[in-house]
Structure 1
């Protein structure tokens, strides 16, 4: 069986990410996020195993995800399963605001994966959605790039490695991080690149 190579790419910085706001990726990359994505695309082109324009590219529907793919010279197809979490009533509001106004609700959301006190999606719901998509990619036998919000990438890694769902809080995925997974049709394997010679 031809192996599947999946590169999970966290989209670049947005104003909402920098200000720790729930949602906001529809606003697109901020100026610094776009500059960083373009700079990384130039660096990435010289690396072994780099992203290639002929890779199948999927992205979440948010502007920040599609703009990141564009910056890398990829032609993304929108994949709804890669959408950021629906934060319901908290969308656009800062973590700090919610911590002051609804501390118990925030604690519940952060400590109970099935909770959705904001009226949107729970983390468990996002894992189910992203996990179904990820499971369907294992046998594709091609190189795939998936660009999404850093939270979606964290949850995808937790699912791929069959870790407890609460583990997503222990993963720190920076904007423009690239995580490589491979599969021979069975379980996903996390591939950590060797350091560049030089």
Structure 2
């Protein structure tokens, strides 16, 4: 039987709006409204999961979903850059930031490399292909990026080329260890 995995990015929070490495902040008022407005567009699912972050849990709740945290879908660990904006990191550590953005194996912040992160997400996909039915998951934008990169067999350098707007969705369908990606439709 086929497993349909519908991944949804979280609604807006101050961190997303400011291009800030996740600092655990809640959704902002616009994000709450947008998630509530999108609730009717969420497909019915056998399972509902989410990344273990405040903004993903809150988005799931505002969509009317009762989600279970999946630790493997935690956002990319930005180490000592957590809570800082890209602009702040660029001003403090321009060479480290440039290296991290251009080399998927680099982790100058002391956290996780893009390659290591994509490997972590891909590990879950290997086991998740054996499930059946539909799963809806509210996940960090970088989880969506990693899924798209790995399922398409793209190089890890393509990670930064995948834009994931708030409340946008991507569906992956898998059976027998093989996945397909379905793009389109835009936000819910």
Asked whether the two chains share a fold, i.e. TM above 0.5, the reply is yes
Partner of residue 51, structure 1:
43
Question: Shift in Å at residue 193 of structure 1?
Answer: 5.5
Partner of residue 103, structure 1:
94
Q: For 1:8-23, what aligned pairs fall within 5 Å after superposition? A: 8-23=7-22
TM-score (norm 2): 0.93
Partner of residue 35, structure 2:
37
Residues of 1 paired with 2:159 and 2:175: CA distance? 25
Question: Shift in Å at residue 140 of structure 1?
Answer: 0.3
Residues of 1 paired with 2:183 and 2:19: CA distance? 28
Contact 1:28 1:62 in 2 (8 A): no
Shift in CA distance, 6/93, structure 1 to aligned 2, threshold 3 Å: same
1:126-146 deviation per Cα after TM superposition (whole angstroms, max 9, x unaligned): 111111011211110111112
Of the structure 1 ranges 162-171 and 106-115, higher mean CA displacement relative to structure 2 is found in 162-171
Question: Shift in Å at residue 184 of structure 1?
Answer: 2.1
Question: Shift in Å at residue 155 of structure 1?
Answer: 1.0
Q: For 1:42-81, what aligned pairs fall within 5 Å after superposition? A: 42=40, 44=41, 50-52=42-44, 54-81=45-72
Contact 2:170 2:184 in 1 (8 A): no
Of the structure 1 ranges 144-153 and 184-193, higher mean CA displacement relative to structure 2 is found in 184-193
Select 2:133's aligned residue among 122, 142, 152.
142
Residues of 2 paired with 1:157 and 1:166: CA distance? 12
Segments of 5+ residues of structure 1 without an aligned counterpart are 45-49
Contact 2:126 2:177 in 1 (8 A): no
Contact 1:23 1:85 in 2 (8 A): no
1:148-190 deviation per Cα after TM superposition (whole angstroms, max 9, x unaligned): 1111211111112221111111110101111111112232111
Structure 1 residue runs of 4 or more that deviate by more than 6 Å after TM superposition: none
Aligned length, in residue pairs: 186
Contact 2:9 2:166 in 1 (8 A): yes
Residues of 2 paired with 1:91 and 1:29: CA distance? 17
TM-score (norm 1): 0.89
Shift in CA distance, 193/121, structure 1 to aligned 2, threshold 3 Å: closer
Partner of residue 4, structure 1:
3
SS at 2:181 equivalent: strand
Residues of 2 paired with 1:169 and 1:194: CA distance? 21
SS at 1:144 equivalent: strand
